[in-house]
Amino acid sequence: MTKLFSPITLRDLTLRNRTVVAPMCQYSAIDGFVNDWHFVHLGRFAMGGFGLVILEATGVVPEGRISYGDLGLWKDEHIAPLARIVDFIHSQGAAAGIQLAHAGRKASTPVSWNTPDKLATEEQRNAVGYEHWKPVAPSAVAHSSNPDFQTPEALDEAGIRRVIDGFVAAAQRAEKAGFDTVEIHAAHGYLLNQFLSPLANKRTDQYGGSRENRMRLVLEVAEAVRAVWPAHKPLLARLSVSDNAPGGWQVEDSVALARELKARGVDAIDCSSGGFDEGRITSTAAYQVPFASAVKKGADIPTMAVGLLGDAAAAEAVLENGEADFIALARGALDDPNWPLHAMRELGSSDYSTWPVQARRVKERDRVLGRLPA
């Protein structure tokens, strides 16, 4: 059996393989609620053979959404529609995760396809759930000069407490919805990443200045979520391992943070990078794998690699070389929701049992076309 398609266990959760659908914002919710688009979008990945499907960045408080079209988990009414999706993912043999997030100063931004002419009337705005609000952040510094980003209000002590409480309450609701894991989003220039990075955090109190202080909120969130998240279920965290910018958060900082997260009960690190206007990196195949490798080896914790990993043989090599423990796809999964099923065949398997029973006639087609492994 290939490494990519071998089972892996975190706490009491055993995934059927090491393929993961990374969170992908769909900007298609109203008031935080999932709908039929999300059901079909996510369900097809479970049918396509992935081991774990992680739902998009989900606002733990209303003002924590990237846009008015984001999912939310700040009220109990959100639970039942999410549970319907979780149940379907489970029915197809995959595990379900959800990314809990707060966008910080990158909140209340437009949905790109809802152009001003499509929001001209109240009826049009209501139809897409349009909202606009003032974002919050570690410091009153805008993400960039782009007018889509506002100058935020700096969080005070009560505001920070609201953030922590929001993560805790959202995790409790995620458990009620039946999710197998939650992922704390501390990447891509959103709120927790903003606290970590000197590029955004200009505070002089206990949450700013030294690396220890800048890590404080992320660790407090992790401790608080772990305290309410069931002990038998794994907890994940997503980090921008590097800001890819001078003077920003660096790889060695993420290794130190990952060690502290592990000590607080985080079971794996989802390793991405970037998210700040000052950061630049060239995207190439497997370009972020070195980040996953550095964190895995430096902090002795399982890691998830992400970033243009659609080549099955290359993905297998990443795992075989011990550079990561999971392979996550986002755009690759959008392009091919059946990627694991196709990758399994590419890597020499003639086992079609992972295909949904309704679709196993594909094996006969592949036999006729000479696609089955010799």
Which active-site residues does the annotation give?
190
How far CA 92 is from CA of 16, 19, 334, in Å, comes to: 11, 14, 18
Is-contact 268 213, C-beta < 8 A? no
Task: Report the C-alpha gap between 196 and 216 in whole angstroms.
Answer: 8
Q: Quick one: CA dihedral 256, 95, 57, 219, positive or negative?
A: negative
R_g (Cα) of the chain, nearest Å: 20
> Sign of torsion, CA 283 285 290 295?
positive
Cα dihedral 97, 101, 107, 112, rounded to 10, equals -10
Closest CA to 50 of 261, 229, 256, 315: 315
The gap between the terminal CA atoms of the chain, to the nearest Å, is 16
Residue 95 vs residues 133, 180, 194, 226, 326: alpha-carbon distances, Å: 34, 6, 30, 19, 14
Q: Angle at Cα 34 formed by Cα 33 and Cα 37, nearest 5°?
A: 140
Place of tokens 């002590």: 157
